[in-house]
A and B are shown apart, each in its own frame.
Chain A
């Protein structure tokens, strides 16, 4: 039987506020356990939450970016359940009145098409702490540094039809929250994680199949693998005559499998009710408009501008605007090098991206910053160095040997473009290879193209590759044919 896959995602984005969503404690990552948890985060008797206005602004910013309905009156609710890393015995979240309502986002799929994915809602909530199961000899340690960190939970409609679509959607949201500067999107540190609701149904069937929720996927690669695995599992269950049960499953990247955490029957009754310690959050149009003014140019708009302003092909524009940092880098290179945009694009997407990938570092940590990279492209554009030389210069810059000009000077890589100097070298090459000159001149014109390569090689050899290849070709043609 042919199966259709149906996926909806819940993405938890940690908002990049300085302090926690309901307390003044710092949200910085990586501190000693429990050093960034104040009385409120510890859930001591008597403490009360106070809502962080910055978390509100960031959530509204996201809502505006996906063209969503903004909750002008949103309400915090308590989600009640017991767990040692949940200090109050309830999580403050939003149930019936979220800050962001229905919206949508266009996602570019691998085959070059664009698919519009519906966003059901996005709501604010606090993160829990962490249970540490190692190093405590059969006991569990609790670290509440993360407790109370602001999260925006973005819930998609069940519009995704493959693991690749899910990964593309996740990438798009990731890129967006980084463009908006509302999250650092750091997946290793858990600032961006995804739960995927996966079900299958026979192609053509209208009703959804029973879904399983895969929890806490923290990489683009894992989201594909986890979903692929889960789909296989569901197909196997159904095709062997069984039925999928509604449950929560956990993806284990080491074993590449999902396993059951709890079934619907074991699921908690969270006993949601409005948190009486917090007033409903009421905002007005003026507030929303003020936030709208802070919106940066969004990825889709920027890509279109790259195509029109820089005359870049769609592919290049898409790649360069995939992250705000990369797009910013590119634009700096264009501005400061004065070079043609397409040359800048080729070098950024070529040498630079290859080096970043090779050393698995992000653009923001590149050892060659945009200003220095512009210096390199400038020397390519003004013919100071050839493309081949530029690759050597780049490697030296990457290794920390300084600016392009410094490397060119130090290594004496400046290209020889002076026709007087080049003529002397060419004359010498020709007199040393009179037989080849003879052969060339006797050859049919259509064979000569290949034969000229020999002389080029000799000139490059004599100049240690510094001769300007364009100039040499021009002079060789004149002299050999003349």
Chain B
């Protein structure tokens, strides 16, 4: 058994398992050891499911021996603590659900389990996925493995940090306004937010139902393709999931990029973008030119409306989605409520953190009688305009590229008292969710030793094209292979 297993990609590990170079038990043990050794420094996990993981690893080894392997059989995977896991605490990063042991598995969890993947545990996240720095978690902030005084991004910060520190070869995330792509960028890993409806939302605790989408986070595009293959597909329990066939995401990875048309939205390279980040992105674009792609400037004129639109739509939906957290049937309940109103007020007052409360209030306000037309309805109209921008752009180009974030990872505490500054961290990612398009972040370089992500945006259900572009870039560069020194 080699001791550099953690530096391997999922595809390499899968081959190793099949060849009998190591067992899933050995592999899983080694990752659990790495998790436990790093937990104090990174705080990437909320719950580590050691025992369960070892049992699943044993079962996976039997499947491998029996020649009954799936794509990820025996591969350890970490799951964002937003996915319900039968018999395991599912906290969503909140005090509200700290006592909640889910009685069922999310569809995504079920898919990984049926494929034979091993669950390492549940990763840390911003409370109810509301945040861009992982600082809103009830379980404390996650640290960026590249700079322990920096944020890992959010809300899937635990998953991003876990993959970056190679304490998990792959992790699941969810992305409502950038929550996969932004932490992937800040932690120097690869993450893809699929088209809305591609992955079932059943059992994934809702933040903003019309924007939420689960996706994979891993070191490489190739690994993301394998994970997405397991995650994607129609689910009759999710009315918004797509019945469209799932293509073989690994089939077209190495397709030649000559003639591919890449659009660079001028709005993504203007004011607000850090100059050094811009240089990294330009270098990455040059790489694509070398690979044969044609690059043109495009315009997404309503880009500046994306953040304000999002901060009406998402809070409106969350204000309703979070109403079920009422202290009546599950989750946190205050001590000795004196009547019903007291039960509601104190259970919710104690259970929710500041950012969650802020968004519930904004959302309830936007939906209230007399304000609905001015906020919610108007936001829906602008949302259509934003989708229309992309539709027109995709008549001219195959892919859109730009920075994932305007700056590298900021320091812990730097923006936590300034919600507006924090919201701008998602300025390039949010429009993709409003339009329901697939988007991806690839590691593309460093600024001040902190990773920078290149964002790729594709047309609806064109995840294969994104993965192909990501894979070819990673064949030509080695940014995705970099591991923070402390965790190498």
Chain B hits for A142, CB < 8 A: 328-329
Q: Which residues of chain A in 36-62 are interfacial with respect to chain B, using CB atoms and an 8 Å cutoff?
A: 39, 42-51
A80 CA / B324 CA spacing, docked (Å): 11
Please tell me if the beta carbons of A78 and B97 are within 8 angstroms of each other in the complex: no
Chain B residues within 8 Å of chain A by Cβ, number: 44
Please tell me if the beta carbons of A269 and B320 are within 8 angstroms of each other in the complex: no
Of B104, B240, B316, B376, the residue contacting A277 (CB under 8 A) is: B240
Q: Which residues of chain B in 318-353 are interfacial with respect to chain A, using CB atoms and an 8 Å cutoff?
A: 319-320, 322-326, 328-330, 340, 344
For B367, the closest partner residue in chain A by CB is: A271
**Taking A39-B104, A51-B239, A279-B239 as contacts, is the C-beta distance between A46 and B206 under 8 angstroms?**
yes
For A131, the closest partner residue in chain B by CB is: B340
Which of B196-204, B297-305, B403-411 lies on the face that meets chain A? B196-204
The answer to the question of A278 belonging to the interface, with a C-beta cut-off of 8 Å to chain B, is yes
Please tell me if the beta carbons of B330 and A44 are within 8 angstroms of each other in the complex: yes
Chain B hits for A51, CB < 8 A: 239
The answer to the question of A276 belonging to the interface, with a C-beta cut-off of 8 Å to chain B, is yes
A88 CA / B324 CA spacing, docked (Å): 4
For B323, the closest partner residue in chain A by CB is: A89
The answer to the question of B171 belonging to the interface, with a C-beta cut-off of 8 Å to chain A, is no
Most-contacted residue by chain B among A46, A78, A140, A278 (CB, 10 A) = A46
The answer to the question of A87 belonging to the interface, with a C-beta cut-off of 8 Å to chain B, is yes
Contact with A along B218-253 (1 / 0, CB 8 A): 000000000000000000111110000000000000
Chain A hits for B103, CB < 8 A: 39, 44
For B329, the closest partner residue in chain A by CB is: A42
Please tell me if the beta carbons of A273 and B367 are within 8 angstroms of each other in the complex: yes
**Taking A89-B326, A273-B376 as contacts, is the C-beta distance between A47 and B367 under 8 angstroms?**
no
Please tell me if the beta carbons of A48 and B320 are within 8 angstroms of each other in the complex: no
Of A48, A78, A82, the residue contacting B202 (CB under 8 A) is: A48
A281 to chain B, nearest CB (A): 10
The answer to the question of B100 belonging to the interface, with a C-beta cut-off of 8 Å to chain A, is yes
Please tell me if the beta carbons of B323 and A46 are within 8 angstroms of each other in the complex: no
The answer to the question of B291 belonging to the interface, with a C-beta cut-off of 8 Å to chain A, is no
Chain B hits for A272, CB < 8 A: 367, 372
Chain A hits for B190, CB < 8 A: none
Chain A residues within 8 Å of chain B by Cβ, number: 29
Contact with B along A80-115 (1 / 0, CB 8 A): 101010011110000000000000000000000000
Chain B hits for A80, CB < 8 A: 319-320, 323, 367
Of B84, B104, B368, the residue contacting A271 (CB under 8 A) is: B368
Please tell me if the beta carbons of A82 and B326 are within 8 angstroms of each other in the complex: yes
A432 CA / B330 CA spacing, docked (Å): 93
The answer to the question of B209 belonging to the interface, with a C-beta cut-off of 8 Å to chain A, is yes
A46 CA / B203 CA spacing, docked (Å): 4
Q: Which residues of chain A in 229-285 are interfacial with respect to chain B, using CB atoms and an 8 Å cutoff?
A: 269, 271-273, 276-279
A243 CA / B325 CA spacing, docked (Å): 41
**Taking A84-B328, A84-B340, A269-B369 as contacts, is the C-beta distance between A47 and B203 under 8 angstroms?**
yes
A279 CA / B100 CA spacing, docked (Å): 29
Of B205, B239, B320, B329, the residue contacting A49 (CB under 8 A) is: B239
For A277, the closest partner residue in chain B by CB is: B209
A88 CA / B322 CA spacing, docked (Å): 8
A313 CA / B84 CA spacing, docked (Å): 66
Chain A hits for B208, CB < 8 A: 276
Please tell me if the beta carbons of B324 and A89 are within 8 angstroms of each other in the complex: yes
Q: Which residues of chain B in 276-330 are interfacial with respect to chain A, using CB atoms and an 8 Å cutoff?
A: 316-317, 319-320, 322-326, 328-330
For B94, the closest partner residue in chain A by CB is: A45
Please tell me if the beta carbons of B323 and A88 are within 8 angstroms of each other in the complex: yes
The answer to the question of B364 belonging to the interface, with a C-beta cut-off of 8 Å to chain A, is yes
Chain B hits for A277, CB < 8 A: 206, 209, 239-240
Chain A hits for B368, CB < 8 A: 269, 271
Please tell me if the beta carbons of A44 and B104 are within 8 angstroms of each other in the complex: yes
For B96, the closest partner residue in chain A by CB is: A45
Contact with B along A267-311 (1 / 0, CB 8 A): 001011100111100000000000000000000000000000000
A151 CA / B364 CA spacing, docked (Å): 27
B279 to chain A, nearest CB (A): 40
Chain B hits for A48, CB < 8 A: 201-202, 237-239
For B376, the closest partner residue in chain A by CB is: A273
Chain A hits for B240, CB < 8 A: 276-279
Of B317, B329, B372, the residue contacting A276 (CB under 8 A) is: B317
For A80, the closest partner residue in chain B by CB is: B320
Please tell me if the beta carbons of B205 and A45 are within 8 angstroms of each other in the complex: yes
A273 CA / B204 CA spacing, docked (Å): 21
The answer to the question of B92 belonging to the interface, with a C-beta cut-off of 8 Å to chain A, is yes
B340 to chain A, nearest CB (A): 7
Chain A hits for B319, CB < 8 A: 80, 271
Please tell me if the beta carbons of B102 and A45 are within 8 angstroms of each other in the complex: yes
Of A39, A47, A271, the residue contacting B364 (CB under 8 A) is: A271
Q: Which residues of chain A in 15-74 are interfacial with respect to chain B, using CB atoms and an 8 Å cutoff?
A: 39, 42-51
Please tell me if the beta carbons of B320 and A273 are within 8 angstroms of each other in the complex: yes
Chain B hits for A273, CB < 8 A: 316, 320, 367, 372, 376
Chain A hits for B316, CB < 8 A: 273
B75 to chain A, nearest CB (A): 24
Chain A hits for B203, CB < 8 A: 46-47
The answer to the question of B124 belonging to the interface, with a C-beta cut-off of 8 Å to chain A, is no
Chain A hits for B322, CB < 8 A: 89
A279 CA / B210 CA spacing, docked (Å): 10
B95 to chain A, nearest CB (A): 14
Please tell me if the beta carbons of B209 and A43 are within 8 angstroms of each other in the complex: no
The answer to the question of B106 belonging to the interface, with a C-beta cut-off of 8 Å to chain A, is yes
A129 to chain B, nearest CB (A): 10
A46 CA / B84 CA spacing, docked (Å): 7
**Taking A84-B340, A273-B372 as contacts, is the C-beta distance between A46 and B205 under 8 angstroms?**
yes
A137 to chain B, nearest CB (A): 15
The answer to the question of B90 belonging to the interface, with a C-beta cut-off of 8 Å to chain A, is yes
**Taking A80-B367, A89-B320, A271-B368 as contacts, is the C-beta distance between A46 and B326 under 8 angstroms?**
no
Chain B hits for A140, CB < 8 A: 340
Chain A hits for B320, CB < 8 A: 78, 80, 89-90, 271, 273
B213 to chain A, nearest CB (A): 12
Chain B hits for A45, CB < 8 A: 84, 90, 92, 97, 100, 102, 205-206, 324-325, 330
11 contacts between A and B (CB under 8 A): A43-B329, A46-B206, A80-B367, A82-B326, A88-B323, A89-B326, A142-B329, A269-B368, A271-B368, A271-B372, A278-B240
> What is B's interface to A at a CB cutoff of 8 Å?
83-84, 90, 92, 97, 100, 102-104, 106, 201-206, 208-210, 236-240, 316-317, 319-320, 322-326, 328-330, 340, 344, 364, 367-369, 372, 376
9 tightest A-B contacts by CB?
A89-B323, A276-B210, A276-B209, A271-B367, A46-B203, A43-B324, A45-B205, A46-B84, A88-B324
Beyond A46-B202, A87-B324, A278-B239, 15 extra complex contacts between A and B, CB < 8 Å: A44-B104, A45-B102, A45-B325, A47-B202, A48-B201, A87-B328, A87-B329, A88-B323, A88-B324, A142-B328, A142-B329, A271-B372, A276-B208, A277-B206, A277-B209
